[in-house]
């Protein structure tokens, strides 16, 4: 996957951000403090936020100046932080929303539902599920639509350490199994280190660092899973804390 | 109950239903534009749509008469195209009721549509859904209790309509008389029993429709995931 952003201007929190960067690889992360423009960037790429500039995915133009492909035609899966499951539909109908023609018994559907451990929950209303189950449904729903790229906004936010580890492992497994590249937003350096080959650090809408997680975040990629370690310190945050002390 | 009273009752209910049915598609379209889109002069249109709520119904009736009368732009057009008169006959009654129900419908529909999390619609689009599918499969199913509550409220308003109807349709016995107009006529003529009967009907209809609307509005709790 190669996502190129060139002079992409998006209104965000009262200021205009301008992104110029190229993200490559099967798994990429956007990292930075709250308000850095990570979610804004995902929404612009997905076509959910007005913007100007150039966006190209694997050489295909999604946006040129102020003209962009409609959201539905971009082939980009998006799992927002609040998951946005359709509360009036059961799990099966949520999963099939992006692939209405696909039979419930079809290989794609059952393969994804099985991989996500959702087969026993297909008839359950989406709102009756636990947080972890809802996350799996949201992931499955996005995958079943057959996206060329998956955008995940803080996929492990508000989960305890055990669930975070499960979801992270699941993401890794799904991405490899179904060959769908993803870009995730995360505040968790260890999670990024575990899952991604590339990370872009954003600050106030600007990319201040881009590279391998071990380089950019200063972490050892061979380290134990993040849930077994103390939370990693962000270099910028460390410097700020040092200055405060 | 004589034949004329029965006619007045069913004519009122049928006209109110027709008026609401006539106004509802336009109200839904306008409410959707107001709830989900930003456009020039939006606040002006928003104010105009709410105007019949605050100006005297008689004034609304006069505006309708100027528009729909034979010498008005719309009434003249209908007359020249189809030879149809839109004022001072039975057709004027549902038209007046539609105009009076419109602001309540727009307001109620808008609140209901705004109660649906826009994020759900956005995600539906990323899953390949076009605007029509988003509306039919996400927005309307989630907004329906509120939409229905607004429809019932509009129906209640139409059932009790007086001012605009009397100006646009007149009070022609056997043709345009509704429950409110029959009540007014009974009071004017000093027919106390008849007036009390129509008063009781008005109260029962108003109570029933309002209670139903309130019940539906309570169902319109924003359906969010826990």
ipTM attached to this prediction: 0.84
pLDDT for the residue numbered A107:
54
Question: Cα angle vertex A91, ends A90, A94, to 5°?
Answer: 85
Of B119, B223, B224, nearest to A80 by CB-CB distance is: B119
Nearest CA in chain A to B133: A97
CB-CB contact of A45 with A200 (8 Å): no
User: What is the pLDDT, as a whole number, of residue A115?
Assistant: 86
Minimum-distance CB partner of A88 among B122, B141, B226:
B141
- Interface A–B counts its CB contacts (< 8 A) at 64
pLDDT of res. B13: 96
The Cβ-side half-sphere exposure at A107, using a 13 Å CA radius, reads: 1
In the prediction, which pLDDT does B220 show? 63
Question: Using a CB-CB distance cutoff of 8 angstroms, which residues of chain A are in contact with residue B132?
Answer: none
Under-50 pLDDT residues of chain B:
222-226
* Residue to substitute from B36, B121, B124, B128, interface A, most A β-carbons within 10 A: B128
Those residues of chain A that have pLDDT short of 70 are 13, 101-107, 219-245
Q: Comparing C-alpha atoms, which of A179, A133, A125, A139 is closest to residue A159?
A: A133
CA distance B129 to B137: 9
* Chain A residue at shortest CA distance from B126: A72
Determine the pLDDT at residue A222: 46
Cβ proximity of A143 and A136 under 8 Å: no
Closest by Cα among B7, B29, B11 to B19? B11
Mutation choice for A interface testing from B127, B142, B147, B224 by most A CBs within 10 A: B127
Closest to B122 (Cα-Cα) out of B139, B99, B97: B139
The distance from CA B211 to its chain's CA centroid, rounded to whole angstroms, is 17
CB contact under 8 A, A48 and B142: no
CB contact under 8 A, A87 and B142: yes
Nearest to B128 by CA among B117, B137, B116, B140: B137
Contact A84 B123 (CB under 8 A): yes
Inter-chain contact A127–B226, Cβ cutoff 8 Å?
A: yes
**Would you state the pLDDT for residue A171?**
86
Look at the pTM and tell me if it is higher than 0.90.
no
**CA distance linking residue A178 with residue A158, whole number of Å:** 26
Mutate to test the interface with B, among A81, A86, A134 (most CBs of B within 10 A): A86
Contact flag B129-A97 (C-beta cutoff 8 Å): yes
Residues of chain A with Cβ-Cβ distance to B226 below 8 Å are 127
Q: Cβ–Cβ of B225/A85 closer than 8 Å?
A: yes
CB contact under 8 A, A72 and B125: yes
Cβ atoms within 10 Å of B1's Cβ, excluding its own: 8
Q: What is the pLDDT of residue B215?
A: 83
B82-108 in b/e burial notation, b at 16+ Cβ within 10 A?
A: eeeebbbeebbbbbbbbbbbbbbbbbb
Q: What's the confidence (pLDDT) of residue A189?
A: 86
* Residue A145 near chain B (CB below 8 Å): yes
| 3-state class percentages of chain B: helix first, strand second, coil last, to nearest 5 | 75, 0, 25
């Amino acid at each position: 996957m190669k996502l190129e952003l060139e002079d992409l201007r998006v209104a965000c929190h009262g200021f205009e951000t301008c992104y110029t960067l190229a993200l490559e690889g099967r798994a990429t992360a956007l990292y930075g403090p709250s308000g850095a423009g990570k979610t804004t960037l995902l929404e612009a790429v997905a076509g959910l936020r007005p913007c100007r500039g150039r966006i190209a995915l694997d050489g295909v133009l999604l946006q040129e100046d102020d003209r962009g492909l409609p959201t539905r035609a971009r082939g980009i899966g998006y799992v927002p932080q609040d998951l946005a499951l359709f509360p009036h539909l059961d799990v099966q109908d949520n999963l099939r929303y992006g692939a209405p023609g696909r039979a419930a018994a079809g290989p794609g559907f059952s393969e994804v539902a099985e991989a996500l451990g959702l087969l026993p929950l297909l008839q359950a209303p989406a709102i009756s599920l636990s947080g972890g189950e809802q996350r799996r449904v949201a992931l499955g729903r996005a995958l079943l639509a057959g996206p060329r790229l998956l955008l995940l906004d803080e996929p492990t936010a508000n989960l305890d350490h055990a669930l975070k580890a499960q979801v992270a492992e699941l993401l890794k497994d799904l991405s490899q199994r179904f060959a769908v590249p993803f870009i995730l937003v995360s505040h968790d350096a260890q999670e990024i280190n575990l899952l991604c080959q590339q990370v872009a650090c954003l600050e106030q809408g600007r990319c201040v660092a881009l590279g391998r997680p071990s380089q950019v975040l200063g972490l050892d990629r061979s380290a134990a899973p993040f849930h077994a370690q103390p939370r990693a310190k962000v270099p910028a945050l460390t410097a700020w804390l040092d200055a405060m002390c | 109950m004589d034949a004329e009273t029965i006619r007045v009752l069913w004519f009122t209910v049928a006209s109110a239903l027709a008026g609401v049915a006539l106004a509802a598609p336009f109200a839904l379209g306008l409410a959707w534009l107001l709830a989900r889109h930003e456009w020039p002069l939006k606040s002006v249109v928003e104010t105009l749509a709410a105007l019949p709520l605050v100006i005297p119904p008689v004034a609304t009736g006069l505006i309708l008469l100027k528009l729909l009368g034979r010498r008005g732009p719309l009434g003249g057009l209908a007359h020249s195209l189809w030879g149809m008169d839109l004022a001072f006959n039975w057709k004027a009654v549902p038209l007046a009721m539609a105009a009076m129900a419109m602001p309540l419908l727009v307001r109620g529909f808008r609140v209901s549509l705004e109660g649906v999390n826009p994020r759900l619609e956005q995600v539906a689009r990323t899953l390949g859904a076009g605007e029509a599918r988003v509306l039919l499969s996400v927005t309307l199913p989630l907004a329906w209790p509120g939409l229905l509550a607004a429809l019932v409220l509009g129906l209640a308003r139409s059932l009790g309509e007086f001012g605009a109807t009397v100006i646009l349709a007149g009070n022609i016995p056997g043709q345009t008389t509704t429950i409110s107009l029959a009540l007014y006529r009974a009071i004017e003529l000093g027919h106390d029993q008849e007036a009390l009967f129509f008063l009781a009907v008005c109260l029962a209809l108003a109570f029933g429709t309002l209670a139903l609307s309130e019940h539906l509005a309570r169902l319109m709790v924003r359906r969010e995931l826990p």
